[in-house]
């Protein structure tokens, strides 16, 4: 039996534009998905999800998730969660050359589904790592990130970048541009998250930006402008000493760039009234900058504020269901328990 956890993330800069090869800087945060994989002596997969923002469900199936029995959970949420878990199992079977391996899988997650905090990437990364370890074939981190990307890519019909899965695998702050993925040493930034309790449909939102880009040249220019913002932010980060707290000036400059990034994402049609309301509440409370994080449409914003003012203000903002300070997660995928058995 093997248990692995992997972190969620916030985007300091660059979501959506990263789908078109522009750079992005996501940062892993201490909100984790934890997956336990135990080998079975048949080829079935049994999935128990204690908390995926669902009421909890248990499913057992053989072959693919398409053959699973009906369960009492809203179908779109179940499809989304099961799709990612199934893709992770397929990647693990392929990596370990064990096409008939069966697993009992348990998923627990502190990361709300579809809210821009990288829940699916964390489940896929932790799932592949746990399942390959249970098979006695642990993967090197880069291969884990690569397989997790392939799993997301497949479930999201080719509309995924490497950013979420690379960040969740490696932890810390990372830079992703196309296939070029690197880790960054950054000072610890004072992230505050606001969550509207909702979720966006990543596939639809990514497709919407694609259509806009095809239809209007302003949208292609906007995607490029986001890339420019990311490059500016990245050079501020790499010039800073990672060992000391960030200067007020650095936080302020990064915040300005986050504000511009949010405006550009709004122009691409991926913000929402609740996200804009939380962004403005954070700015008015004194945050140095605030933007939506992830695919948008609903879910979370991220703000930079060294003080408690943004959290306090968001707590009283209509439409904000939860707010918390998000610590940078230095560790990516992390083995929590490994009894190292290849035998069922």
Q: Is 72 a catalytic residue?
A: no
Tell me phi and psi for residue 298, to 5 degrees. Answer: 150, 165
Instruction: Compare residues 92 and 122 and give the one whose CB is closer to ligand MEV.
Output: 122
Helices (H), the chain: 75-95, 119-134, 141-155, 163-170, 202-215, 217-239, 248-267, 273-284, 309-315
Selecting among 86, 104, 129, 164, the annotated active-site residue is 164
Provide, rounded to whole angstroms, the least separation between the CB of residue 22 and ligand MEV: 10
d(CA 130, CA 2): 5
Instruction: Compare residues 159 and 317 and give the one whose CB is closer to ligand MEV.
Output: 159
**CB count, 10 Å around CB of 141?**
16
CA 95 remoteness from chain centre: 23
**CB count, 10 Å around CB of 305?**
24
Closest CA to 150 of 137, 161, 135: 161
Provide, rounded to whole angstroms, the least separation between the CB of residue 202 and ligand MEV: 5
d(CA 147, CA 165): 9
User: Residues 6 or more apart from 43 whose CB is under 8 A from it?
Assistant: 62, 100, 101, 102
Provide, rounded to whole angstroms, the least separation between the CB of residue 114 and ligand MEV: 9
Instruction: Compare residues 57 and 166 and give the one whose CB is closer to ligand MEV.
Output: 166
Instruction: Compare residues 108 and 164 and give the one whose CB is closer to ligand MEV.
Output: 164
Provide, rounded to whole angstroms, the least separation between the CB of residue 14 and ligand MEV: 8
Provide, rounded to whole angstroms, the least separation between the CB of residue 18 and ligand MEV: 5
Contact footprint for ligand MEV (CB under 6 A): 15-16, 18-19, 160-161, 163-164, 202, 206, 294-295
Instruction: Compare residues 106 and 156 and give the one whose CB is closer to ligand MEV.
Output: 156
Residue nearest to ligand MEV (CB): 161
Q: Which residues are catalytic?
A: 164
């Amino acid at each position: 039996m093997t248990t692995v956890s992997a972190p969620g993330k916030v985007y300091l800069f660059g979501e959506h534009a990263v789908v078109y090869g522009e750079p992005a800087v996501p940062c892993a945060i201490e909100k984790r998905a934890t997956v336990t994989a135990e080998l079975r002596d048949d080829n079935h997969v049994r999935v128990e999800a204690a908390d995926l923002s669902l009421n909890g469900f248990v499913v057992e199936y053989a072959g693919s998730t398409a053959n699973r029995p009906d369960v009492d959970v809203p179908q779109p949420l179940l499809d989304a969660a099961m799709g990612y878990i199934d893709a992770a199992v397929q990647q693990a079977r392929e990596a370990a050359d064990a096409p008939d391996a069966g697993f009992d899988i348990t998923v627990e997650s502190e990361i709300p589904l579809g809210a821009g905090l990288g829940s699916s990437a964390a489940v896929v990364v932790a799932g592949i790592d746990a399942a390959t370890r249970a098979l006695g074939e642990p993967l090197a981190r880069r291969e884990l990130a690569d397989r997790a990307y392939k799993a997301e890519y497949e479930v999201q019909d080719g509309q995924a970048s490497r950013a979420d899965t690379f960040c969740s695998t490696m932890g810390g702050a990372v830079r992703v541009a196309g296939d070029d993925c690197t880790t960054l040493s950054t000072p610890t930034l004072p992230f505050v998250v606001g969550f509207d309790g909702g979720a966006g449909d990543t596939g639809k939102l990514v497709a919407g930006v694609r259509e806009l880009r095809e239809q209007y040249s302003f949208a292609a220019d906007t995607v490029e402008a986001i890339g420019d913002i990311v490059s500016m932010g990245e050079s501020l980060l790499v010039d800073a000493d990672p060992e000391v707290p960030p200067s007020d000036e650095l936080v302020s400059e990064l915040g300005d760039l986050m504000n511009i990034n949010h405006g550009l994402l709004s122009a691409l049609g991926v913000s929402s009234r609740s996200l804009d309301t939380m962004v403005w509440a954070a700015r008015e409370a004194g945050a140095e900058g605030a933007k939506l994080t992830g695919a948008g449409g609903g879910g979370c914003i991220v703000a930079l504020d060294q003080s408690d003012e943004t959290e306090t203000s968001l707590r009283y903002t209509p439409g904000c269901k939860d707010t918390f300070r998000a610590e940078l997660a230095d560790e990516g995928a992390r083995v929590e328990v490994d009894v190292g058995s290849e035998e069922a």
